[in-house]
Amino acid sequence: MKTSPKQRKYFLTTVFFAFVITTMLLPYYTAKAYKEIKPVDVKSELNTPMSKMILIDVRTPEEYGGGHINKSINIPIQIFEEEIKAKNYSKDSFVVVYCKSGVRSKKAAQILDSLGFTNVYTLGGIMDWPYEVTQK
C-alpha cells in the first residue's frame, strides 16, 4: 500500500512533535529532587548561628547512640515516612539526611522527594564524616 506525500508529511510531523514533547518532559520524570552535600558544607552550616538545617540520622537508635553528628535527630529509616509526616515540616525546609554508608540516606531522600520536599540533601554516610561525633 502506497502512502501519499501528504500522509508521509503528517506522519513525520506527528513523530517529530512526539519526540520534542518527550524530550522536554523527560527531565521532570527522571531527575531527582535531592542533591548531595559535602561534610565541610554541613559542618559550616552546623557552626552557623540560627541555622535552619534539619539534620536527620536515619540509622537505628543503637547505631545513633554509638556516635552521631552533633545537632542531628534520629529518625530510623524503618519509620521515616510516618515520622516525617507526623512532624509536619515545611516542604521547603533545608533537610540533610545521613546513615552509615549512604544507602539508607538515599532512600530517605527519595521518600522526602516523594512527599514533596524541595530542599533535600544527602550527606551519604557517617563513615565519610571527618569530624568528631557525639556519643550517647
pTM for this prediction:
0.77
Would you state the pLDDT for residue 63?
A: 97
Terminal CA-to-CA distance of the chain, rounded, Å?
Answer: 78
What are 33-76's pLDDT values in tens digits? 789 999 999 999 999 999 999 999 999 999 999 999 999 999 99
Going from N- to C-terminal start, the domains of the chain cover 1-31, 33-128
pLDDT band at 26 (very low <50, low <70, confident <90, very high): low
**pLDDT, the chain, mean:** 88
Would you state the pLDDT for residue 8?
A: 75
Cβ–Cβ < 8 Å for 105, 97: yes
Least confident of 10-19, 26-35, 98-107, 123-132: 26-35
Cβ–Cβ < 8 Å for 79, 54: no
pLDDT band at 30 (very low <50, low <70, confident <90, very high): very low
Instruction: Quickly count: other Cβ atoms within 10 Å of residue 94's Cβ.
Output: 16
Give me the CATH code for the 33-128 domain, please. 3.40.250.10
Instruction: Quickly count: other Cβ atoms within 10 Å of residue 52's Cβ.
Output: 11
Cβ–Cβ < 8 Å for 21, 40: no
7-11: list long-range contacts, CB under 8 Å, 24+ apart: none
Report d(CA 21, CA 38) in Å as an integer.
Answer: 35
* DSSP class of 109: H
pLDDT score of 14 more than 90: no
Mean pLDDT score, 22-40: 70
Would you state the pLDDT for residue 40?
A: 97
